[in-house]
């Protein structure tokens, strides 16, 4: 099947794609699942794509779901970028992680602990900010007041 061909049925690996599309700590898997689901036109695949378009924390996934739904002939509107924190309580969580580390910890130690404790936050912002993620996180870390 070429990339632009749409099949009017459920993909044989639908359950795995649905699971991948909803995996909160891996934006790349969600994006790949959206791309693959968009090649199959059924109510179930459309429902998953609509859910990703309306609810994903990473805008590029919301946009990809929108484009796939459009290609499938659905009447949808491109969602707006969210303003503010993508995940509620972000600053509070980052402060908690910073406080849990020794006072003289490095940014690298903070980054590793964030990945271990809250991969969902790490992954969401990495997916949203792309190449600007590292600088954004370091700036956030430097600005956190812990005492």
Residue 8 inside a domain? The answer is no
Query: Residue 138: CB partners within 8 Å, gap ≥ 6?
Result: 107
Query: Binning pLDDT at 50, 70 and 90, where does residue 36 land?
Result: very high
Residue 7 inside a domain? The answer is no
Residue 27 inside a domain? The answer is yes
Residue 82 inside a domain? The answer is no
Q: What is the pLDDT of residue 145?
A: 82
Query: Binning pLDDT at 50, 70 and 90, where does residue 30 land?
Result: very high
Judged against a pLDDT cut of 70, whether residue 79 lies above it is answered with: yes
**CA atoms lying within 13 Å on the CB side of residue 81:** 7
The whole domain housing 118 covers 90-143
Judged against a pLDDT cut of 50, whether residue 140 lies above it is answered with: yes
Is the whole-model pTM more than 0.75? Answer: yes
Which position has the token pair 């936050």? Answer: 121
Residue 22 inside a domain? The answer is yes
Q: What is the pLDDT of residue 1?
A: 46
User: Which of these, 144, 55, 137, 135, lies nearest to 103 by C-alpha position?
Assistant: 144
Q: What sign results for the dihedral spanned by CA atoms 24, 25, 29, 35?
A: positive
Judged against a pLDDT cut of 70, whether residue 8 lies above it is answered with: yes
66 and 100 fall within a common domain: no
Q: What is the DSSP string of 34-51?
A: HHHHTTB-SHHHHHHHHH
Contact 22, 14 (CB under 8 A): no
Over residues 108-136, the mean pLDDT reads 95
Judged against a pLDDT cut of 70, whether residue 119 lies above it is answered with: yes
The tally of domains found in the chain comes to 2
């Amino acid at each position: 099947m070429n990339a632009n061909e749409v099949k009017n049925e459920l993909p044989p690996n639908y359950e795995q794609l649905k699971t991948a599309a909803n995996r909160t700590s891996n934006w790349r898997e969600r994006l790949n699942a959206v791309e693959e689901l968009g090649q199959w036109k059924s109510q179930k695949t459309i429902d998953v794509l609509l859910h990703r378009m309306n609810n994903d924390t990473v805008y590029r996934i919301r946009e990809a779901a929108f484009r796939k739904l459009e290609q499938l002939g659905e009447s949808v509107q491109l969602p707006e970028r969210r303003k503010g924190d993508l995940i509620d309580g972000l600053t509070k969580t980052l402060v908690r992680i910073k406080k849990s580390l020794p006072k003289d910890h490095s940014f690298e130690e903070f980054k590793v602990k964030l990945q271990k404790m809250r991969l969902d936050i790490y992954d969401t912002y990495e997916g949203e900010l792309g190449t600007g993620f590292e600088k954004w996180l370091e700036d956030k870390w430097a600005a956190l007041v812990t005492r």
